Amino acid sequence: MPLAIDYVKSGDLWIAYAVMGEGSLDLLWVPPYASNLAITEDWPPVAEAFERLTPFARLITLNKRGTGLSDRLGDTDTFEDAMDDLRAVLDAVGSKQAAVLGLSDGGALSALFAATHPERVSALVLVSAFARRAWAPDYPWGWTSEEQARLLETWGRDWGRRPLGLGVLSPSLAHDERYREYMLRVQRLGTSRGGLLAWARWVMQIDIRNILSVIKVPTLVIHSVGDRTVTVDNGRYLAEHIPGARLVELAGDDHLIGDRVAVTDEIEEFLTGQRPILEPDRVLATVLFTDIVASTERAAALGDRHWRELLDAHDRSMRTEIDRHRGREIKTMGDAFMATFDGPARAIRCAVAMTAAARSLGIDVRAGLHAGECEVRGEDVGGLSVHIGARVAGLAGSGEVLVSSTVKDLGDRLGYRFRGPRIARAQGGARRVAPLFGQELRTTPVRFVTDHRSMRS
């Protein structure tokens, strides 16, 4: 369901906001530079972060002035005006006091609000935040004037044409086509090109170092140690200068997404005093693993640029087949894919189609499948069945689909039969799968492991 979006008047501007959940405490989420409530939850990790927060909190969020569905920035807007927006949203939802969570540049605004209106703030959480954005002799982690000029030139020229900055904002997702498409929509719908440049000039003026000692509310600072956009030194500075602040450093390089499970767990423990104890959901699924055969040799032969182009084409074709066969991509690991299906029939068809699609690109992939009970961990899955599926894939030959005996048994019941001795002899003892109805799978060997239980260790 889309967010229920409402508006409140703050001065002369209309500010868009939304409320999620019915938890016992109010949590005001102040987003980073460009956001749009209409598409905020279109990227599953963001939706999952909200879902993890709403059981214990009433989550309140907004589009800051100049972004998304809120009115555009004026020439004379100040940080005091932006703080008035936060207060107006809290008033509109009847919140007398809330914990405030600021992400990236939303952190500076949140910290300023906590120092100025402590009666409205029960706690402060700063994620990937900073006290100052521009370089100074006593603040060497900011952007220099030369870096600012290059950034403004690039943004002014390319904003809205292609997703910008993903290599530093979210390096782990920079080559994920779906994430790139999502971020392009966020940047296009988050703010206009003129609004972006106005925001950038505004951010370069941020310097809240002198007010940090005034913050008296309980404060949690969370930062990824490898953050390339706002280095971890910025988070350490905040924690050192806010009285009593607690600093949590997390592994990873991403600025905007990061380890959402670890972040939300830390926030819940900080705000409630209890860390969530989650029983993993378990589902029956068919797990599919694929990877390119002899990828290292091909990469060396082609060179970096041509290999990257081939790998991008491979990724697109793999995702096309997963979507076409109603699977769910779980993750990519270099040139490997992991996906799940609600039944083995579609998983087998998808694996065969993936090998054919790869062959059309001049490469071979191998695939392995296993069916069993999987632990659902947010967008990921785990457990013994996943481990077995990976081991099965490791035994597959070039251009081959190898399935466990569990998949074979389920396939028998769901409309697949295993061909007999003639084909078995032709493929060196392997057995081949073909639908009871339709064409035989002539181009891709599909065989099964007769006893996958030995793979448990």
Q: Kindly report the pTM of this predicted structure.
A: 0.65
Distance CA 98, CA 123 (A): 7
162 within 8 A of 19, measured Cβ to Cβ: no
Tell me the C-alpha to C-alpha distance, in Å, between residue 154 and each of 1, 72, 185: 36, 22, 18
User: What is the model's pLDDT at position 225?
Assistant: 94
3-state secondary structure at position 303: coil
Token pair of 5 as six digits: 């979006």
pLDDT of residue 400: 86
Beta strands in 260-317 (DSSP E): 281-292
CB atoms within 10 A of CB 75: 5
Nearest to 15 by CA among 61, 70, 60: 70
The span from the CA of 298 to the CA of 293, in Å, is 9
pLDDT at 75: 62
Question: 118 and 97 in contact (C-beta within 8 Å)?
Answer: no
Q: Encoding tokens for residue 341?
A: 């299906």
Looking at the predicted structure, is the pLDDT value of residue 439 above 50? no
Measured CA to CA in angstroms, residue 294 lies from 50, 300, 319, 360 at distances of 41, 10, 21, 16
CA distance 287 to 374: 9
The pLDDT, as a whole number, for residue 424 is 26
Residue 442: the pLDDT is: 35
Beta-strand ranges (E) seen in 298-383 are: 328-333, 336-341, 365-377, 380-382
CA distance 95 to 86: 11
pLDDT value of position 414: 52
| Residue 346: closest CA among 367, 364, 325 | 325
Higher pLDDT, 438 or 26: 26
Mean pLDDT, residues 393-412: 80
Q: Name the pLDDT band for 46 (thresholds 50, 70, 90).
A: confident
* DSSP E strands, 177-300: 219-224, 246-250, 281-292
> What is the pLDDT at residue 278?
55
> Is 390:289 a contact under the CB 8 Å cutoff?
yes
What is the pLDDT, as a whole number, of residue 428? Answer: 32
- Mean pLDDT over 298-319 rounds to 90
Query: For the chain, what is the mean pLDDT?
Result: 84
Q: 402-415 burial, b if ≥16 CB within 10 A, otherwise e?
A: bbbbbbbebbeeee
| Cβ-based neighbour number of residue 191 at 10 Å | 27
Query: What domains lie within the chain, and their CATH numbers?
Result: 5-272 (3.40.50.1820), 281-456 (3.30.70.1230)
Predicted confidence (pLDDT) at residue 423 exceeds the cutoff of 50 = no
Q: Which of the pair, 215 or 442, is modelled with greater confidence?
A: 215
Q: Which amino acid, 396? A: A
Whether 440 shows a pLDDT value over 60: the answer reads no
pLDDT at 427 over 70: no
pLDDT in tens, 372-389: 888 887 778 888 888 888
Residue pLDDT, tens place only, 119-167? 999 999 999 999 999 999 999 998 898 988 888 888 888 888 998 888 8
Question: What is the tens place of the pLDDT at every residue in 235-271?
Answer: 999 999 999 999 999 998 999 767 788 899 999 999 9
Nearest Cα residue to 329 out of 360, 290, 374: 290
